[in-house]
Amino acid sequence: MADGRLETLGFLARDGAQSIASLARLRRVRHQTMSTVVADLERQGLVGRTPDPDDARGVLVTITPAGDAVVQESRTSRARRMLAAADAALDEDERATLVRAAAVLDKLAAALRASEPD
Domains delineated in the chain:
3-66 (1.10.10.10)
pLDDT digits (tens, 9 = 90+) for 2-37: 779 999 999 999 999 999 999 999 999 999 999 999
| Model pTM score | 0.77
Mean pLDDT, the chain, as a whole number? 94
**For the chain, how many helices (H) and strands (E)?**
5, 2
Task: Report how far residue 79's alpha carbon sits from residue 92's, in angstroms, rounded to the nearest whole number.
Answer: 18
**Average of pLDDT values for 33-55?**
96
> What is the DSSP code string of 44-83?
TTSEEEEEETTEEEEEEEEE-HHHHHHHHHHHHHHHHHHH
Indicate whether 1 pLDDT > 80. Answer: no
Phi and psi (nearest 5°) for 90?
A: -115, 150
- Of 118 and 78, the structure prediction assigns the larger pLDDT to 78
**pLDDT tens, 98-108?**
999 999 999 99
3-state secondary structure of 18: strand
**CA atoms of 58 and 51, how far apart (whole Å):** 6
